[in-house]
Protein backbone atom coordinates (compact mmCIF):
# COMPACT_ATOMS: atom_id res chain seq x y z
CA UNK A 1 0.00 0.00 0.00
CA UNK A 2 0.94 3.65 0.23
CA UNK A 3 1.79 3.31 3.94
CA UNK A 4 0.03 0.18 5.25
CA UNK A 5 2.33 -2.84 4.78
CA UNK A 6 1.30 -6.21 3.40
CA UNK A 7 2.06 -9.57 4.98
CA UNK A 8 3.65 -10.80 1.75
CA UNK A 9 7.40 -11.41 1.95
CA UNK A 10 9.84 -9.78 -0.46
CA UNK A 11 11.35 -13.24 -0.91
CA UNK A 12 14.49 -13.43 -3.03
CA UNK A 13 13.92 -10.01 -4.61
CA UNK A 14 15.08 -6.51 -3.75
CA UNK A 15 13.95 -3.07 -4.87
CA UNK A 16 14.82 0.61 -4.93
CA UNK A 17 12.15 3.25 -4.50
CA UNK A 18 11.28 6.87 -3.79
CA UNK A 19 8.42 8.00 -1.54
CA UNK A 20 6.85 11.40 -2.24
CA UNK A 21 9.81 12.33 -4.47
CA UNK A 22 12.02 12.99 -1.42
CA UNK A 23 12.49 9.75 0.54
CA UNK A 24 14.69 7.11 -1.15
CA UNK A 25 14.05 3.54 0.04
CA UNK A 26 15.58 0.13 -0.45
CA UNK A 27 14.01 -3.20 0.43
CA UNK A 28 15.27 -6.77 0.27
CA UNK A 29 14.23 -10.24 1.33
CA UNK A 30 15.95 -12.49 3.86
CA UNK A 31 15.44 -16.16 2.98
CA UNK A 32 11.76 -16.76 2.19
CA UNK A 33 10.11 -15.06 5.17
CA UNK A 34 12.10 -11.97 6.18
CA UNK A 35 11.79 -8.48 4.68
CA UNK A 36 13.94 -5.42 5.41
CA UNK A 37 13.14 -1.85 4.34
CA UNK A 38 15.44 1.15 4.86
CA UNK A 39 14.55 4.79 4.11
CA UNK A 40 16.16 8.20 4.51
CA UNK A 41 14.70 11.51 3.41
CA UNK A 42 16.52 14.27 1.53
CA UNK A 43 14.07 17.13 1.85
CA UNK A 44 15.32 20.55 0.71
CA UNK A 45 15.26 23.07 3.54
CA UNK A 46 16.08 20.49 6.22
CA UNK A 47 19.58 19.85 7.49
CA UNK A 48 20.86 16.27 7.60
CA UNK A 49 20.08 16.17 11.33
CA UNK A 50 16.47 17.23 10.64
CA UNK A 51 15.66 14.55 8.06
CA UNK A 52 13.49 11.43 8.48
CA UNK A 53 14.89 7.90 8.72
CA UNK A 54 13.19 4.48 8.87
CA UNK A 55 14.16 0.86 9.49
CA UNK A 56 11.46 -1.81 9.12
CA UNK A 57 11.91 -5.54 9.83
CA UNK A 58 9.11 -7.97 8.99
CA UNK A 59 8.71 -11.76 9.15
CA UNK A 60 5.93 -13.58 7.30
CA UNK A 61 4.91 -16.34 9.70
CA UNK A 62 2.15 -18.06 7.68
CA UNK A 63 1.10 -18.44 4.04
CA UNK A 64 -1.73 -20.60 2.70
CA UNK A 65 -4.97 -20.77 0.74
CA UNK A 66 -7.71 -18.57 2.16
CA UNK A 67 -10.64 -20.84 1.28
CA UNK A 68 -12.69 -17.88 0.04
CA UNK A 69 -11.49 -17.62 -3.56
CA UNK A 70 -10.19 -20.49 -5.67
CA UNK A 71 -6.81 -18.84 -6.25
CA UNK A 72 -6.88 -16.74 -3.09
CA UNK A 73 -4.13 -16.68 -0.51
CA UNK A 74 -3.86 -15.59 3.12
CA UNK A 75 -0.68 -14.39 4.79
CA UNK A 76 0.22 -13.18 8.26
CA UNK A 77 3.31 -11.29 9.38
CA UNK A 78 4.78 -9.60 12.45
CA UNK A 79 7.24 -6.76 12.45
CA UNK A 80 9.14 -4.04 14.24
CA UNK A 81 10.17 -0.65 12.94
CA UNK A 82 12.00 2.42 14.07
CA UNK A 83 11.44 5.95 12.77
CA UNK A 84 13.54 9.04 13.47
CA UNK A 85 11.80 12.42 13.04
CA UNK A 86 15.00 14.47 13.18
CA UNK A 87 17.96 12.47 14.45
CA UNK A 88 16.91 12.84 18.10
CA UNK A 89 13.22 11.83 17.92
CA UNK A 90 13.02 8.03 17.89
CA UNK A 91 9.65 6.24 17.61
CA UNK A 92 9.48 2.44 17.69
CA UNK A 93 6.50 0.25 16.78
CA UNK A 94 5.54 -3.41 16.99
CA UNK A 95 2.90 -4.59 14.53
CA UNK A 96 0.96 -7.50 13.09
CA UNK A 97 -0.48 -7.54 9.56
CA UNK A 98 -2.72 -9.89 7.57
CA UNK A 99 -3.20 -9.97 3.80
CA UNK A 100 -5.91 -11.75 1.81
CA UNK A 101 -5.68 -11.97 -1.98
CA UNK A 102 -8.29 -12.74 -4.61
CA UNK A 103 -8.32 -12.98 -8.38
CA UNK A 104 -8.04 -9.21 -8.82
CA UNK A 105 -7.85 -7.89 -5.27
CA UNK A 106 -5.70 -7.64 -2.18
CA UNK A 107 -6.80 -6.54 1.31
CA UNK A 108 -4.39 -5.88 4.17
CA UNK A 109 -5.15 -4.91 7.76
CA UNK A 110 -2.58 -3.94 10.37
CA UNK A 111 -2.60 -3.39 14.13
CA UNK A 112 0.40 -1.64 15.64
CA UNK A 113 1.54 -0.33 19.00
CA UNK A 114 3.97 2.43 19.86
CA UNK A 115 6.48 0.52 22.00
CA UNK A 116 9.69 2.56 22.19
CA UNK A 117 10.67 6.19 22.53
CA UNK A 118 9.63 9.20 24.55
CA UNK A 119 6.04 10.20 25.23
CA UNK A 120 6.49 13.74 23.91
CA UNK A 121 8.31 15.01 20.81
CA UNK A 122 9.48 18.30 19.32
CA UNK A 123 10.14 18.23 15.57
CA UNK A 124 12.27 20.90 13.88
CA UNK A 125 11.37 21.88 10.32
CA UNK A 126 14.49 23.89 9.54
CA UNK A 127 13.84 26.66 7.02
CA UNK A 128 10.48 25.12 6.06
CA UNK A 129 8.64 26.39 9.12
CA UNK A 130 8.41 26.56 12.88
CA UNK A 131 9.08 23.56 15.09
CA UNK A 132 6.06 21.77 16.51
CA UNK A 133 5.39 19.53 19.48
CA UNK A 134 3.15 16.47 19.74
CA UNK A 135 2.43 13.78 22.36
CA UNK A 136 2.72 10.10 21.46
CA UNK A 137 2.73 7.85 24.51
CA UNK A 138 4.12 4.33 24.54
CA UNK A 139 1.30 1.79 24.59
CA UNK A 140 -0.76 3.74 22.05
CA UNK A 141 -2.49 1.44 19.55
CA UNK A 142 -3.21 2.21 15.91
CA UNK A 143 -4.89 0.39 13.03
CA UNK A 144 -4.82 0.51 9.25
CA UNK A 145 -6.65 -0.96 6.25
CA UNK A 146 -5.60 -1.14 2.60
CA UNK A 147 -7.68 -2.30 -0.39
CA UNK A 148 -6.07 -2.89 -3.81
CA UNK A 149 -8.27 -3.84 -6.80
CA UNK A 150 -7.00 -4.43 -10.33
CA UNK A 151 -9.15 -3.07 -13.17
CA UNK A 152 -10.43 -5.93 -15.37
CA UNK A 153 -9.82 -4.00 -18.59
CA UNK A 154 -6.31 -2.84 -17.65
CA UNK A 155 -4.15 -5.60 -16.20
CA UNK A 156 -1.40 -3.17 -15.15
CA UNK A 157 -3.64 -0.60 -13.41
CA UNK A 158 -4.98 -0.87 -9.86
CA UNK A 159 -7.27 1.29 -7.71
CA UNK A 160 -6.11 1.64 -4.11
CA UNK A 161 -7.67 3.00 -0.93
CA UNK A 162 -6.01 3.23 2.45
CA UNK A 163 -7.15 4.36 5.91
CA UNK A 164 -4.95 4.40 8.99
CA UNK A 165 -4.54 6.14 12.30
CA UNK A 166 -1.76 6.06 14.89
CA UNK A 167 -4.18 6.31 17.85
CA UNK A 168 -7.52 4.49 17.93
CA UNK A 169 -8.67 6.88 20.67
CA UNK A 170 -8.20 9.87 18.33
CA UNK A 171 -9.96 8.93 15.07
CA UNK A 172 -9.86 12.55 13.91
CA UNK A 173 -6.11 12.13 13.48
CA UNK A 174 -6.57 9.42 10.84
CA UNK A 175 -5.28 9.60 7.26
CA UNK A 176 -7.22 8.55 4.13
CA UNK A 177 -5.48 8.02 0.78
CA UNK A 178 -7.12 7.23 -2.55
CA UNK A 179 -5.16 6.62 -5.72
CA UNK A 180 -3.97 4.51 -8.63
CA UNK A 181 -1.09 2.06 -8.95
CA UNK A 182 0.51 1.20 -12.31
CA UNK A 183 2.61 -1.95 -12.27
CA UNK A 184 4.62 -4.11 -14.63
CA UNK A 185 7.27 -6.77 -14.16
CA UNK A 186 9.89 -4.36 -12.81
CA UNK A 187 8.33 -1.01 -11.85
CA UNK A 188 5.53 0.22 -9.61
CA UNK A 189 4.18 3.78 -9.69
CA UNK A 190 1.62 5.19 -7.24
CA UNK A 191 -0.37 8.38 -7.75
CA UNK A 192 -2.75 9.35 -4.99
CA UNK A 193 -4.31 12.12 -2.95
CA UNK A 194 -4.22 12.03 0.83
CA UNK A 195 -6.58 13.64 3.34
CA UNK A 196 -4.55 14.35 6.47
CA UNK A 197 -5.55 15.60 9.96
CA UNK A 198 -6.83 19.15 9.94
CA UNK A 199 -8.35 18.75 6.48
CA UNK A 200 -5.00 19.02 4.68
CA UNK A 201 -4.94 17.57 1.16
CA UNK A 202 -1.58 16.50 -0.29
CA UNK A 203 -0.45 14.41 -3.26
CA UNK A 204 1.16 11.02 -2.65
CA UNK A 205 3.56 9.88 -5.39
CA UNK A 206 5.69 6.75 -4.98
CA UNK A 207 7.97 4.81 -7.33
CA UNK A 208 9.71 1.46 -6.95
CA UNK A 209 12.00 -0.53 -9.25
CA UNK A 210 12.80 -4.23 -8.91
CA UNK A 211 15.85 -5.22 -11.02
What is the model's pLDDT at position 90? 98
What is the model's pLDDT at position 163? 97
Q: What is the pLDDT of residues 37-87, one digit of tens each?
A: 999 999 999 999 999 999 999 999 999 999 888 889 999 999 999 999 999
Report the C-alpha dihedral over residues 19, 23, 26, 27, rounded to 10 degrees: -50
Give the C-alpha separation, 11 to 158, whole Å.
22
Residue spans of the domains in the chain: they are 14-209
What is the model's pLDDT at position 99? 97
Fold of 14-209: Porin (2.40.160)
Strands 14-19, 23-30: parallel, antiparallel or unpaired by DSSP? antiparallel
Amino acid sequence: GFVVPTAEPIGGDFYFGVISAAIPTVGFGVFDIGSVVLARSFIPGLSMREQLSLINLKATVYQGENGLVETGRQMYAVGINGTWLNDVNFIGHLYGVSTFTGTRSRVSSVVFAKAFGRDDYTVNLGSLGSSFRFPYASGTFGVGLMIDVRFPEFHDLHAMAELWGVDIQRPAQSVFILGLRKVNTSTTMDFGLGLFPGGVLAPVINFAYTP
